[in-house]
Structure 1
Amino acid sequence: MVTCSANPDISRGQNNGKFNASTETSNGVIHGWIDSEEHETNDEWFLYSEITESALHGDKKAKESDETAGSGDLGIDIPMRKSLFPFVAPYVIFHSIDCKCPRLSAGIRKHLKWKLSGVIPKIVALTLEKSGFHFVGDSDGWSGTWSHTLGDPGTFKQVKGFQKLNCFPGSKNLGCKDQLWTNVNKMRQRFGEEHFGFVPETFVLPREMRRFQERWRETVGDKWIVKPPASGRGKGIRVIDQWWEVPKWHSVVVQRYIAKPKLINGSKFDLRVYVLVTSIDPLRIYVYNEGLVRFASVKYVDDSTNLHDRFMHLTNTSVNKYSPNYVVNDSVDSCHGNKWSFGTLWAYFARENIDVRIIWSEIKDIVVKTMISGEAEMRKAVKENVTSTYNCYELYGFDVILDENLRPWLLEVNTLPSLNADSVLDTAIKAPLIRNVLNIAGYQLPGNITLFQERRLAKEYRYAQMRQDQRIYSTSLSSEEILKQHEFLKYPVRANYILAILKNLTRDDIRQLIRYEDEITQLERFERIFPTPHTHKYHKFFKIPRYYNLLFDAWEFQASKQRQAGIERLKNFCRQKIHLESTL
């Protein structure tokens, strides 16, 4: 047990992190049981009927629960969130799972359909139900789905303009350990260890067996960690220091082991950092300022006699929860047990006179550079398979470990981080996280609503436009827009574009900027780390300059001084409906 007090007060939580669904529909049987990267059996199942009965059948019990509810989210007196800009549809408001807020009207709720896709964490399901969504099987009218990263990028071509997926095509460039290393290593070779030396030295076997054998001879006695390239929750991971233990024919990555980690009370730990990406081009990255600190359940000893003790060397909760020493932490601000919040860790570090700001700044730098390392391949996949900028967003789990010198190292990126909530601490971190993610992603009433239905809702709520307009999310460019982009990419020096690029905004520029400004009104506990007024320093790392990154750099440069003036300028364009003009 890890603690910073002599008298820990521990209570064990229930294992309730997955959602299980199996129900008959007109199209057959829907099966859905889940947990993100962990995919393991839980003691408690969350039945389909429990979360959809009230939405599908007007369940009286659910209605009574709402009517007797107390106070929840404050200040919510409208059924949807208005855009900053005229003639842009409002957004669904996602509520916290303990919100006792009024139910949406039936006229809105009937259009909020969420597709069951085989996997949906319980926390996501609860958030959706609380916010007015109901669950459907195979239906063309769904607005969103929560699925594991799709294997075939071509699947994205079947997604309609009003539908959202929680993943991007090409995410394997980050989530597969071999591809992550390949991408980061290319950047390391191009820009040096100073900028891209944040991943421990790695070899992809058997492809790089000869190179690894040479390195082994140079570093006899060093420890290495063997990992399958595309598995999670600690499966197949082991620490080795003998050549005979190296897999010779299986596909694995072998990574230099951080043998001198920072310890707390003698135990190893890592940080699960939550990162939200809402666009690849332009690149938009947000990092959540809370997260989970995960401890090994056996005190660390740096010798060769304990290399096979997974409870000592691995920090995965999915591994350590089976240790007899594992202790659940059921308090957000407690430094007891084998899992802490970031806030607790930062307070602990402060007592040790450690400057947390430096660590956090270095972690954010790692996140931005990691995303850039995979940007070229991901952008290509998005461009080939996604036809609407509305369709995709993705939440990542970056696993970071600190060495004894407090230097952060990136261990891996999870493309579907676990949302399992098996303790009060998990729920306290992950429930607000999901609500925040969905609000930033920005869901609108689907564009397949009939004109009659929209007019009826517009009259009822006095909104000029109620359904999504797919023109705002179009990727088509006019000849004028193509010419402007081409001209600014000829000489992408900051002095050439920082003022000039915003002088004559095109229709596409306006669309990009209004989506962005609406998005950042919902940040709450997320921090914008790209773009910012200072992230132009990262432009040199992109394979080729991107017009939209130049546009957003210029926008942030000027918005840092007078953001409201920029928003008013965009409002004026929207009043003229320039953002709704069709491509000629």
Structure 2
Amino acid sequence: MSGLTIRNKFLSFVVCIGLLVIAFNLYQLHLMRCQLVGEYYKGRYSGSVVDDMSEKRMKKPPVVWIHGNKKGILDQVRIVFEKLGFAVSSGETDWDVFWAFEYPFVGNMSRPMIQLKPHQMVNHFPGTVYITNKASLSFVHKDYVPKTFIMPRHKKELLQYAAEYPDKRWIKKNIFHRGIKIIELNELELTSEKYIVQEFVDNPLLIEGRKFDIGVYTVLTSLSPLRVYIINDEHSIRFCLNTYHPFDPLDVDKYVIKENYIPIWKNPPFHDYYNNRKFSIKESFSRYMTSQGENVSTMWSDIHEMIREVFLMHQTNMMAMGTNFNFSRNCFELYRFDFIMDDQMKVHLIKVNFSPSLFTGHFKDDKRLYQHVVYNVLRVSRVASMVDNHFHNSDDDTNNMISADRDVMVFSDWCSDCHQCETIKCMLCKQCLNSQQLVEIKDAYLEHYNRGGCKRIFPPELNQIDALNWTPESDIYELGKYSDENRLIFVWFIGMCRKDVTFCS
């Protein structure tokens, strides 16, 4: 019996050796075949086919340069880019997208901005400080912005206004840094350092006794013509650490939302909506407010109108700042507009955030929110393209596949017999569009199809029936108040809305 066992083991060993020899020979034959085929194509096509195939296989991924990632504040940005197939760089050469925490158009950082290549994209616009600097709110004379004064420049105006409204409280803000507290006007200092004094909204709407703010993530994709979107399917809702009453001006945790705020998932009224039903932060907030009998549609509409007005108000100044840099299509930007509500459901714009926080160091559960925001920013700004590695592989066939001239033509009934390009009816006809206008329209077309969870804020939302009935002679949209560039893109969206209802909003 033992002899049979030894013989069987020996036969099994011989069979295994034989199979390995056969496998090795087959592999060698495969390599020889590949070599012969390669030499055949190299000889027939002078190396072009083989070289092209090798080049495609070895194609480099697009590169993002992430600048200012101290303490991991941009880690979620890096993660999203890596998920999209980008290589992350910390150097100044050979990059496709530049994402900076700081303003990149001053000092040493401005050098690569002056020499941008056509395909390179930057996550800030020159002149964006007109919107995000706290002092800029002093020039917004709207009832949705609390009265704001720059000290010491506006001290006389502040004291005069305060004399008319002696019961108002005031808060002091540093222009560039954090630090907010309620002050008495007799505490004001006339120093060379600028700071902000702003009217305090002392009747905030409270939930569970706490003051809260609403952060709306906003994306600027084009400055001229103006195109603005919000991340519509998700917002930030943050609650103060301490309950508002009994009020104590020395306890800033009662009225200032800090980095260690209370998130919505830790606030009892939202547990079922957010934790059990898995609604988004925005939808959980909307469901709760509706259950309390409030009209959230009006609230959101008011917020959208405020965002729209801020950009229209500062567009000209931002464009003037951009004249120092020779580019027009290389920028996109993410902002966060922060609002509070008073107990009469009136919305107040408190500030606009430059490089809004995407840091998950305080709340790990914010990871999904921040990655979702960054991903949608990159989608609507066309950085995350549907075409693989579009930064280095742009050609006419690819561009026409994505957005050809015929995809963006509107008002065919008017353009069939149009000879006066200066009229609104004709300005979007093919023969009347210059090359730059055609490029801008195609960008808007691609933004629409890449927008993901974004909603267009400017040009504003349209009603298709109104768009179908619109004519330049009965201008329900008041187009005359807009610049030529803004009017053209507005009219184009009207034309697209008439053809396709998805372009209405």
| Residue 264 (structure 2) pairs with residue 307 (structure 1) | no
| Residue 235 (structure 2) pairs with residue 296 (structure 1) | no
Q: State the match for 1:436 in structure 2.
A: 376
For residues 331 and 420 of structure 1, do their structure 2 counterparts lie closer, same or farther at Cα, with a shift above 3 Å needed? farther
Q: State the match for 1:423 in structure 2.
A: 363
- C-alpha distance in 2 between matches for 1:564 and 1:257: 43
| Residue 134 (structure 2) pairs with residue 177 (structure 1) | yes
| Residue 332 (structure 2) pairs with residue 393 (structure 1) | yes
Q: State the match for 1:26 in structure 2.
A: none
Equivalent residues of 1:267, 1:299 under 8 A apart? yes
Cα distance, 1:159 vs structure 2: 2.2
- 1:412-449: CA deviation from partner (whole Å, max 9, x where unpaired): 00021111124354123221111111111113678985
Q: Which amino acid in 2 is paired with 1:547?
A: D
For residues 277 and 332 of structure 1, do their structure 2 counterparts lie closer, same or farther at Cα, with a shift above 3 Å needed? farther
Equivalent residues of 1:332, 1:424 under 8 A apart? no
- 1:11-36: CA deviation from partner (whole Å, max 9, x where unpaired): xxxxxxxxxxxxxxxxxxxxxxxxxx
Q: State the match for 1:355 in structure 2.
A: 295
Q: State the match for 1:257 in structure 2.
A: 200
Among 516, 533, 540, which residue is 2:444 paired with? Answer: 516
Among 236, 239, 251, which residue is 2:179 paired with? Answer: 236
Equivalent residues of 2:380, 2:454 under 8 A apart? no
Q: Which amino acid in 2 is paired with 1:500?
A: C
Q: State the match for 1:278 in structure 2.
A: 221
Cα distance, 1:158 vs structure 2: 2.7
Structure 2 residue matching 1:124: 3-state secondary structure: helix
- 1:546-570: CA deviation from partner (whole Å, max 9, x where unpaired): 222121122111111114999xxxx
Among 316, 326, 336, which residue is 1:376 paired with? Answer: 316
Q: State the match for 1:413 in structure 2.
A: 352
Greater RCO between the two (CA within 8 Å, min separation 6)? 1
Equivalent residues of 2:65, 2:91 under 8 A apart? yes
- C-alpha distance in 1 between matches for 2:308 and 2:340: 17
Equivalent residues of 2:98, 2:122 under 8 A apart? yes
Cα distance, 1:464 vs structure 2: 3.8
> Structure 1: which 5+ runs fail to align?
1-104, 186-195, 473-485, 489-495, 567-584
- C-alpha distance in 2 between matches for 1:437 and 1:565: 19
Name which one, 1 or 2, has greater alpha-carbon Rg.
Answer: 2
For residues 163 and 423 of structure 1, do their structure 2 counterparts lie closer, same or farther at Cα, with a shift above 3 Å needed? same
Q: State the match for 1:118 in structure 2.
A: 68
Q: State the match for 1:222 in structure 2.
A: 168
Q: State the match for 2:13 in structure 1.
A: none
Q: Which amino acid in 1 is paired with 2:455?
A: E
The answer to which structure has the higher helix fraction is 2
Equivalent residues of 2:172, 2:196 under 8 A apart? yes
Equivalent residues of 1:275, 1:396 under 8 A apart? yes
Structure 2 residue matching 1:286: 3-state secondary structure: strand
Structure 2 residue matching 1:399: 3-state secondary structure: strand
For residues 431 and 332 of structure 1, do their structure 2 counterparts lie closer, same or farther at Cα, with a shift above 3 Å needed? farther
Q: Which amino acid in 1 is paired with 2:80?
A: T
Equivalent residues of 1:157, 1:385 under 8 A apart? yes
For residues 508 and 311 of structure 1, do their structure 2 counterparts lie closer, same or farther at Cα, with a shift above 3 Å needed? same
Equivalent residues of 2:204, 2:211 under 8 A apart? yes
Equivalent residues of 1:501, 1:554 under 8 A apart? no
Equivalent residues of 1:533, 1:560 under 8 A apart? no
For residues 139 and 107 of structure 1, do their structure 2 counterparts lie closer, same or farther at Cα, with a shift above 3 Å needed? farther
Q: Which amino acid in 1 is paired with 2:428?
A: L
Q: State the match for 1:70 in structure 2.
A: none
For residues 447 and 296 of structure 1, do their structure 2 counterparts lie closer, same or farther at Cα, with a shift above 3 Å needed? closer
Q: State, as a whole percentage, how many aligned pairs show the same letter.
A: 23
| Residue 92 (structure 2) pairs with residue 152 (structure 1) | no
Equivalent residues of 2:96, 2:391 under 8 A apart? no
Structure 2 residue matching 1:377: 3-state secondary structure: helix
- C-alpha distance in 2 between matches for 1:434 and 1:538: 34
- C-alpha distance in 2 between matches for 1:419 and 1:538: 38
| Residue 487 (structure 2) pairs with residue 550 (structure 1) | yes
Structure 1 residue matching 2:274: 3-state secondary structure: coil
Among 205, 217, 227, which residue is 2:151 paired with? Answer: 205
Equivalent residues of 1:166, 1:393 under 8 A apart? yes
Equivalent residues of 1:163, 1:446 under 8 A apart? no
| Residue 93 (structure 2) pairs with residue 140 (structure 1) | yes
| Residue 120 (structure 2) pairs with residue 163 (structure 1) | yes
Equivalent residues of 1:292, 1:341 under 8 A apart? yes
Q: Which amino acid in 2 is paired with 1:392?
A: C
- C-alpha distance in 2 between matches for 1:540 and 1:424: 48
Structure 1 residue matching 2:175: 3-state secondary structure: coil
- C-alpha distance in 1 between matches for 2:461 and 2:492: 8
- C-alpha distance in 2 between matches for 1:125 and 1:518: 24
- C-alpha distance in 2 between matches for 1:164 and 1:331: 40
Q: State the match for 2:286 in structure 1.
A: 346
For residues 507 and 320 of structure 1, do their structure 2 counterparts lie closer, same or farther at Cα, with a shift above 3 Å needed? closer
Q: Which amino acid in 2 is paired with 1:551?
A: L
- C-alpha distance in 1 between matches for 2:457 and 2:321: 23
Where does 1:438-453 land on structure 2 (aligned, <5 Å)?
438-443=378-383, 449=392
Equivalent residues of 1:328, 1:423 under 8 A apart? no
For residues 334 and 176 of structure 1, do their structure 2 counterparts lie closer, same or farther at Cα, with a shift above 3 Å needed? same
Q: State the match for 2:428 in structure 1.
A: 502
Where does 1:568-579 land on structure 2 (aligned, <5 Å)?
none
For residues 539 and 259 of structure 1, do their structure 2 counterparts lie closer, same or farther at Cα, with a shift above 3 Å needed? farther
Structure 2 residue matching 1:508: 3-state secondary structure: helix
Cα distance, 1:487 vs structure 2: 7.7
Q: Which amino acid in 1 is paired with 2:296?
A: V
- C-alpha distance in 2 between matches for 1:319 and 1:237: 15
> Structure 2: which 5+ runs fail to align?
1-55, 406-419, 464-475
- C-alpha distance in 2 between matches for 1:307 and 1:320: 18
Structure 2 residue matching 1:259: 3-state secondary structure: coil
Q: Which amino acid in 1 is paired with 2:367?
A: T
Q: Which amino acid in 1 is paired with 2:236?
A: L
For residues 332 and 435 of structure 1, do their structure 2 counterparts lie closer, same or farther at Cα, with a shift above 3 Å needed? farther
- 1:57-115: CA deviation from partner (whole Å, max 9, x where unpaired): xxxxxxxxxxxxxxxxxxxxxxxxxxxxxxxxxxxxxxxxxxxxxxxx8634x241111
Equivalent residues of 2:231, 2:376 under 8 A apart? no
Cα distance, 1:334 vs structure 2: 2.9
Q: TM-score, normalised by structure 2?
A: 0.72
Residue range with higher mean Cα deviation, 216-225 or 411-420: 216-225
Among 514, 528, 531, which residue is 2:456 paired with? Answer: 528
- 1:115-135: CA deviation from partner (whole Å, max 9, x where unpaired): 132236111111111111112
For residues 331 and 170 of structure 1, do their structure 2 counterparts lie closer, same or farther at Cα, with a shift above 3 Å needed? farther
For residues 466 and 528 of structure 1, do their structure 2 counterparts lie closer, same or farther at Cα, with a shift above 3 Å needed? closer
For residues 212 and 287 of structure 1, do their structure 2 counterparts lie closer, same or farther at Cα, with a shift above 3 Å needed? same
